Amino acid sequence: AAGVIQSPRHLIKEKRETATLKCYPIPRHDTVYWYQQGPGQDPQFLISFYEKMQSDKGSIPDRFSAQQFSDYHSELNMSSLELGDSALYFCASSLVGTDTQYFGPGTRLTVL
């Protein structure tokens, strides 16, 4: 069965640079979620989209923005990167009316 696809899997950036993370949800899933997991931490919700509209917002810095496109894929844009942004970034998808969120393999972002 198709799973959530995230790209790139690994990304190394310098401080103050910009990064774009991409997420391709499971086919026919209409809701996408982004989570951030710092080293040794539990995943923290950042933002979610349903039918291309932002549906919920968590502890996402103002330097980050995200959107969902007409083909339901989503991108997380991160600017003015800081050392503390180094983390695993997960995308998850679900189908409205169901409760299970299926997670992608994550993008490991390292900021030097």
Partner 1 sequence: SQQGEEDPQALSIQEGENATMNCSYKTSINNLQWYRQNSGRGLVHLILIRSNEREKHSGRLRVTLDTSKKSSSLLITASRAADTASYFCATDAFQGAQKLVFGQGTRLTINP
> What residues make contact with partner 1 under the rule CB under 8 A?
31, 33, 35, 42-45, 48, 55-56, 58, 88, 90, 92, 94, 99-106, 108
Burial (CB count <10 Å: 0-12, 13-18, 19+), residue 81: buried
Least distance between partner 1 and beta carbon 16 (Å): 26
Least distance between partner 1 and beta carbon 98 (Å): 9
Least distance between partner 1 and beta carbon 49 (Å): 11
Tell me whether residue 33 or residue 64 sits nearer to partner 1 (CB atom): 33
Running DSSP on this structure, what letter comes out for residue 9?
Answer: S
